[in-house]
A and B are shown apart, each in its own frame.
Chain A
């Protein structure tokens, strides 16, 4: 008989390698309340919401107690309910309670748990504290007065992203989350990945909202409003509308048309250009002997991270612009003489794209950014709701001409390893379906931290790697510095790639992986798998881009 089980609320639950009671309780189908527990972060044990009572009446925090065979615990006793309610009441005692006007209204963990535990009276005055806003960053907005000090953002920034822009400062009742010397976040080494906002349970860190700016500029007859939609967006929208669909690009296109966009394009088309350019650059480097490894340049948070931490590696970063920033100048060239004011908008899974769009490198001949406004997936969802569109009912529409074609290579850009796979498809000699299938299984796909493999090309063997998340960059850089050779390295700042971007609706790791699978499914359904097969590429390269590839599609980050 298997004795390795414990009793949770009277029922036996087998212990199967769970790290802590909390995981076991969740496995037993009980939703434990927490503010500070995320399975991918270290255990902090700060919020005390996940307390359980043992059979002797002792209280333990489930997140920081390892399971033990024979243990008996209860998760819902009068005492626990009272304590949880008290914690919530005290948190609310110095937290602004003007929920209706809060950015996080309806999505706030504090609000959710206060509702769940029936906190309908707080014995302290509403502090109505003035917001303490830091809106220096183009990616995120902080309000220190809405912080409950759970430390999720600090651990995300330090442990997972290895950036360390924020940390706790001061102590006791003066404690707060801050940059060094309380500097505004824009003056710190923040890379804008936004993962702090993705884990923040309240509105202490939120994505910078540009939707209201966009509303102001839409629906103007003298403006030609153009949207491009990134690959990762299409697999992250449906759930927010309670719609059972996976890839809803057609519906998103229809919604954008309805919202007021004249033209909707797919950033996967831009990604096809990136594949063409990046593959060319890679082949050139192979011919000229380097510099190696060549790093991908699609991810703006990674580029910023490299600028901060490894300026010596900047010559190794591909000079290719990101798909968004390749597509935008092409759109600009196409419509600059259309007689209307062009409003170029990008719908992205990413908060760092807001910062990228404002970089000096990406401005046209008049000093105007190629991309006027970047909205995230979350902002798109909000706008669809604000427009009153019933997502379930809206009929899918096709993207517009003349940029109406994209390939599977462009679509998989949204998942870690995707850029690399697309470039390999381009440079590889074997273009058969079986070669494609093999490639998918050789290690390029998946969600491991650093996935590396070897690839024969003509007379040599290439060593390539995909780095999943900024936290793994230091490891590979160390190996490079100790002499190890890599030819091509893809880096995506957010764990799991763009599908896990901070601009996406909140999702569990499992749900993020599902999004990745759905992008691969979309690739499978694409008739065209190789970027060079995209008829639009042939047209562009023999037309608008002829002789101007470098001017429009490349950038030099080396100062």
Chain B
């Protein structure tokens, strides 16, 4: 579908990603895009549909099927608190509650308004021996407590 392009959006970056993949490898292309923007900006959908010879609704279908893709902008620091069985029994919930309270977030609102922090849960990071675990932008922090989470959050805030 010929759609109106957003002048302020850098489509050149998308072209580079598209070039590196087969046009049918929609998931890989979306992953690479998410790598750059930390989410899937709405601008990419009509553009990809045209370039990949598919429909916008098909790409939307893929993007909403996988938990990994986000259609909402994410914070600079994405904090994932593991709530798998091992982490849960070793008290991951107080850590999660602390972070949410501190940042004014909840189950529905996952990202702060200034786009600094996103707090999510994951079902298992596969590091049960280090429970309770959380990650900050894919960097793993093990054996967490609400106190150590507070210290970590403090240092992240300073680094903003």
Asked if residues A189 and B56 are in contact (CB atoms below 8 Å), the reply is yes
- Residues of B within 8 Å of A163, CB to CB, are 55
- Residues of A within 8 Å of B45, CB to CB, are 180-181
Set B54, B57, B59, B64: member contacting A166, Cβ < 8 A: B57
A309 interface residue, CB < 8 Å from B? yes
- Residues of A within 8 Å of B9, CB to CB, are none
With contacts A158-B55, A164-B57, A167-B57 known, is A189 near B65, CB below 8 A?
no
- Residues of B within 8 Å of A309, CB to CB, are 1-2
A184 interface residue, CB < 8 Å from B? no
- With both beta carbons as reference points, the residue of chain A lying nearest to B62 in the complex is identified as A167
- Residues of B within 8 Å of A166, CB to CB, are 57
A486–B89 alpha-carbon span in the complex (Å): 72
B42 interface residue, CB < 8 Å from A? yes
- Residues of A within 8 Å of B54, CB to CB, are 164
A165 interface residue, CB < 8 Å from B? yes
A169–B62 alpha-carbon span in the complex (Å): 8
A466 interface residue, CB < 8 Å from B? no
Asked if residues B64 and A170 are in contact (CB atoms below 8 Å), the reply is yes
Asked if residues B59 and A180 are in contact (CB atoms below 8 Å), the reply is yes
A219–B57 alpha-carbon span in the complex (Å): 45
A308–B50 alpha-carbon span in the complex (Å): 11
A180–B56 alpha-carbon span in the complex (Å): 6
A311 interface residue, CB < 8 Å from B? yes
A340–B55 alpha-carbon span in the complex (Å): 48
Asked if residues B61 and A308 are in contact (CB atoms below 8 Å), the reply is no
A188–B60 alpha-carbon span in the complex (Å): 13
B58 interface residue, CB < 8 Å from A? yes
Asked if residues A167 and B61 are in contact (CB atoms below 8 Å), the reply is yes
- Residues of A within 8 Å of B56, CB to CB, are 164, 179-180, 188-189
Chain B interface size range = 10 to 19
- Residues of A within 8 Å of B65, CB to CB, are 168-171
A178 interface residue, CB < 8 Å from B? yes
- Residues of A within 8 Å of B57, CB to CB, are 164-167, 169, 178-180, 188
Set B55, B58, B60: member contacting A181, Cβ < 8 A: B60
How close is B37's CB to chain A, nearest CB, in angstroms? 16
Interface hub of A168, A179, A188 (most chain B Cβ within 10 A): A168
With contacts A180-B45, A308-B2, A311-B2 known, is A165 near B64, CB below 8 A?
no
With contacts A158-B58, A181-B42, A189-B55 known, is A308 near B1, CB below 8 A?
yes
Hey, what's the 0/1 contact readout for A52-75 against B, CB within 8 Å counting as 1?
000000000000000000000000
- 8 Å CB contacts to B: which residues of A59-111? none
A interface residues, tally (CB under 8 Å): 19
Asked if residues A180 and B60 are in contact (CB atoms below 8 Å), the reply is yes
Asked if residues B60 and A167 are in contact (CB atoms below 8 Å), the reply is yes
Set B1, B2, B60: member contacting A169, Cβ < 8 A: B60
- With both beta carbons as reference points, the residue of chain A lying nearest to B2 in the complex is identified as A311
How close is A462's CB to chain B, nearest CB, in angstroms? 31
- 8 Å CB contacts to A: which residues of B1-45? 1-2, 42, 45
- 8 Å CB contacts to A: which residues of B36-85? 42, 45, 54-61, 64-65
How close is B56's CB to chain A, nearest CB, in angstroms? 4
Asked if residues B1 and A167 are in contact (CB atoms below 8 Å), the reply is no
- With both beta carbons as reference points, the residue of chain A lying nearest to B3 in the complex is identified as A189
A170–B57 alpha-carbon span in the complex (Å): 11
- Residues of B within 8 Å of A167, CB to CB, are 55, 57-58, 60-61
- Residues of B within 8 Å of A158, CB to CB, are 55, 58
- 8 Å CB contacts to B: which residues of A249-265? none
A164–B54 alpha-carbon span in the complex (Å): 8
A317–B64 alpha-carbon span in the complex (Å): 38
Asked if residues A178 and B60 are in contact (CB atoms below 8 Å), the reply is yes
A557–B25 alpha-carbon span in the complex (Å): 36
A308–B49 alpha-carbon span in the complex (Å): 13
Asked if residues B61 and A189 are in contact (CB atoms below 8 Å), the reply is no
A237–B54 alpha-carbon span in the complex (Å): 37
A189–B46 alpha-carbon span in the complex (Å): 11
A168–B64 alpha-carbon span in the complex (Å): 9
Asked if residues B61 and A168 are in contact (CB atoms below 8 Å), the reply is yes
A164–B53 alpha-carbon span in the complex (Å): 11
- Residues of B within 8 Å of A165, CB to CB, are 55, 57
A169–B65 alpha-carbon span in the complex (Å): 7
- Residues of A within 8 Å of B64, CB to CB, are 169-171
Asked if residues B60 and A189 are in contact (CB atoms below 8 Å), the reply is no
- With both beta carbons as reference points, the residue of chain A lying nearest to B45 in the complex is identified as A180
How close is B8's CB to chain A, nearest CB, in angstroms? 19
Hey, what's the 0/1 contact readout for A144-159 against B, CB within 8 Å counting as 1?
0000000000000010
A459–B45 alpha-carbon span in the complex (Å): 50
- With both beta carbons as reference points, the residue of chain A lying nearest to B54 in the complex is identified as A164
- With both beta carbons as reference points, the residue of chain A lying nearest to B53 in the complex is identified as A474
A158–B59 alpha-carbon span in the complex (Å): 13
A164–B55 alpha-carbon span in the complex (Å): 5
- With both beta carbons as reference points, the residue of chain B lying nearest to A172 in the complex is identified as B65
Interface hub of B45, B55, B59 (most chain A Cβ within 10 A): B55
- Residues of B within 8 Å of A168, CB to CB, are 61, 65
A188–B1 alpha-carbon span in the complex (Å): 9
Interface hub of A158, A163, A180 (most chain B Cβ within 10 A): A180
- Residues of A within 8 Å of B60, CB to CB, are 167, 169, 178-181
- Residues of B within 8 Å of A311, CB to CB, are 2
Interface of B with A (CB < 8 Å)?
A: 1-2, 42, 45, 54-61, 64-65
Q: List 16 A-B contacts (CB under 8 A).
A: A158-B55, A158-B58, A164-B54, A164-B57, A165-B55, A165-B57, A167-B55, A167-B58, A169-B64, A170-B64, A178-B57, A180-B56, A180-B60, A181-B60, A309-B2, A311-B2
Q: State the 10 A-B residue pairs at the shortest beta-carbon distance, nearest first.
A: A164-B55, A180-B56, A167-B57, A180-B60, A167-B61, A189-B1, A180-B57, A169-B64, A170-B64, A171-B65
Interface of A with B (CB < 8 Å)?
A: 158, 163-171, 178-181, 188-189, 308-309, 311
Known: A189-B55, A308-B2. 17 other contacts (CB 8 A): A158-B55, A158-B58, A164-B55, A167-B60, A168-B65, A169-B65, A170-B65, A179-B56, A179-B60, A180-B45, A180-B55, A180-B59, A181-B45, A188-B57, A189-B1, A309-B1, A309-B2
